[in-house]
Amino acid sequence: MAGRRVVVTGLGLVTPLGCGVDTAWSNVLANKSGASRIEHFQADDLGCEIAAMVPRLDGRGGGGADIAGTFDPDAFLTKREQNRIDEFIVFGIVAAEEAIKDSGWVIDPEDTETQERTGVIFGSGLGGLQTIYESSLKLAEKGPRRFGPFVLPGMLTNLTSGHISIRHGYKGANHSVVTACATGAHAIGDAARMIERGDVDVMIAGGSEATICRIGITSFVACRAMTTGFNDKPETASRPYDKDRDGFLMGEGAGAVVLEEYEHAKARGATIYAELKGYGLTGDAYHITSPAPDGSGGYRAMKMALNDAGMTVDEIGYVNAHGTSTPMGDEVELKAVERLFGDAASNLSMSSTKSATGHLLGAAGAVEAIFSILAVRDNMVPPTLNLHNPSVETPIDLVPLKAKKKSLKAVMSNSFGFGGTNASLIFAELPKND
Amino acid sequence: MSDVLSRVSKMVVEHLDVEEDKVTEKANFIEDLGADSLDNVELVMAFEEEFDIEIPDDAAETIQTVGDAVKFITEATA
């Protein structure tokens, strides 16, 4: 990046593969799927009856009181607080709390100057969809006098940032991103830019989503974007690049990172996971829901990220693909990556962790950035589950079925969204002499 | 304790997440019980629903303590 260097010093995850970075990542590397049948609301009339749900105490997503990685917001929020905010905000707060704790970034409440140098950018693709749905029904049924004052602040997309800022006294940028399925990646990239240019020294960035509800599933089925043919075998539904893929599987959760100016992190002795080396963002200017068939938008985002990083394609060992398991999108991205990497494509591994987590929409970019960072840290490449028969031939290793060891210096994470919006991030290990 | 007072107290404890012994008739929702302006709006709505009454906005503004609420509700349901 052009200005000050930006590093990652904290990670937090709430995913269908478990809550907490250690649990989720070990499940990714164990080739597990987070998919199951929807049981907590009527879904048998929606076309898609399955999703990848965050494990909960009520048994959803395979969770339970004694099961590691089960979602437990009570540690951070009272029941009363939880009842007043949509679940996407709860997910975001919990992921952010883990990332902040992990980073060890603590600010003295009296230290206004430091508070003003720390900020937040948290986004969501759809925000409080379920809250809007429920309160709309209540408004129609009971009228405006029974419409509570907490509906609005409980569903606003930027309120995750607001809550994180209030909880920790962060008085720098208090911002948000809404770019559909590219939200999480844009939030991280934009946050890094603010550090790079000196507005702040530390940023909490990420995305969250909680739309596994009747209106959420119905909306995407109506766009013909979701899987409908694997209701009896949920864990096989998300199958990027496989010839039998038929649409994305919805996931939910949140990813949060702590980004920090390099010297600032070093001076306080913080553990540095990786350096955020490059960020690219482009628009397709083509269609509201379909990617440009030539993949030019994604191609230019990746190219811009490479230029920003001052790197060449042969330095990138792994791409965490957008790869949603839709019939068209996967191949468009794959061809764009082949075109960009040229001869280096034969040394590249590229997988879609959406095969395991489902598509976390506005949280996907943040969660997948974290998986990419962990791939560099551990020299492990996550798998593309259910990839038995690729629909096209490619020189790129799509990491079918099983995670594998691979020495990695730098990785790329792609996120593309409705509206023709594209984002690409590059993370690299710190040179040993740094 | 009157029936209205005990019902109001129970609701205040629930909505504001405060200890029962703090909810006296003199307790001010904002100053003593930690409510903010949105909490007050929600409480008034809850009173309306619980006691099946209507509390106009100008009357709601005068309800600042537990006792104020009990007095208004007692008169409205008399």
Reported ipTM? 0.87
The answer to whether residue A48 scores a pLDDT higher than 70 is: yes
Q: What would the pLDDT profile of B10-42 be if each residue is shown by its tens digit?
A: 999 999 999 999 999 999 999 999 999 999 999
The whole-number pLDDT of residue A431 equals 79
Question: What percentage of chain A reaches a pLDDT higher than 70?
Answer: 99
Query: Could you tell me the fold of the domain covering A7-267?
Result: Peroxisomal Thiolase; Chain A, domain 1 (3.40.47)
Question: Per DSSP, what are the bridge partners of residue A175?
Answer: A121
Which two tokens mark A7?
A: 């590093």
Alpha carbons A11 and A374: distance in angstroms, whole number: 10
Please answer yes or no on whether B45 and A148 come within 8 Å at the CB atom: yes
Residue of B17, B41, B45 with shortest CB distance to A78: B17
What are the boundaries of each domain within chain A?
7-267, 280-428
Same CATH topology for A7-267 and A280-428: the answer is yes
Lowest mean pLDDT among A321-325, A389-393, A397-401, A427-431: A427-431
pLDDT, average across residues A275-296: 96
Q: What would the pLDDT profile of A104-161 be if each residue is shown by its tens digit?
A: 999 999 999 999 999 999 999 999 999 999 999 999 999 998 999 999 999 999 999 9
Which two tokens mark A117?
A: 């140098």
The whole-number pLDDT of residue B1 equals 62
The answer to whether residue A188 scores a pLDDT higher than 70 is: yes
Q: Sort out which chain A residues have CB atoms less than 8 A from B45's CB and list them.
A: 145-146, 148
pTM as predicted: 0.96
Alpha carbons A358 and A53: distance in angstroms, whole number: 9
Residues of A within an 8 Å Cβ radius of B:
78, 80, 145-146, 148-150, 153
The whole-number pLDDT of residue A135 equals 97
Q: Is B49 near chain A, with CB under 8 Å?
A: yes
- A432: confidence class by pLDDT, cuts 50, 70, 90: confident
Using alpha carbons only, give the angle A352, A357, A359 rounded to the nearest 5 degrees: 75
Which two tokens mark A111?
A: 């230290």
Strands A174-175 and A118-123: parallel
Q: Sort out which chain A residues have CB atoms less than 8 A from B54's CB and list them.
A: 145
Please answer yes or no on whether A146 and B49 come within 8 Å at the CB atom: yes
Question: What percentage of chain A reaches a pLDDT higher than 90?
Answer: 97
For A280-428, CATH gives 3.40.47.10
The answer to whether residue A1 scores a pLDDT higher than 80 is: no
Question: Per DSSP, what are the bridge partners of residue A258?
Answer: A10, A204
Alpha carbons A27 and A5: distance in angstroms, whole number: 32
Q: What would the pLDDT profile of A216-248 be if each residue is shown by its tens digit?
A: 999 999 999 999 999 999 999 999 999 999 999
Nearest chain A alpha carbon to B40: A149
What's the mean per-residue pLDDT of chain A?
Answer: 97
Using alpha carbons only, give the angle A4, A10, A12 rounded to the nearest 5 degrees: 135
The whole-number pLDDT of residue B78 equals 85
Which two tokens mark B23?
A: 């909810």
Query: Is residue A182 within 8 Å of residue A196, measured between CB atoms?
Result: no
The answer to whether residue A175 scores a pLDDT higher than 70 is: yes
Q: Which CATH superfamily is domain B3-77 in?
A: ACP-like (1.10.1200.10)
pLDDT, average across residues A74-84: 94
The answer to whether residue A93 scores a pLDDT higher than 70 is: yes
* Catalytic residue check, A359: yes
Question: Per DSSP, what are the bridge partners of residue A411?
Answer: A318, A427
pLDDT, average across residues A371-388: 98
Q: Is B45 near chain A, with CB under 8 Å?
A: yes
Q: Could you give phi then psi for residue A421, rounded to 5 degrees?
A: -110, 135
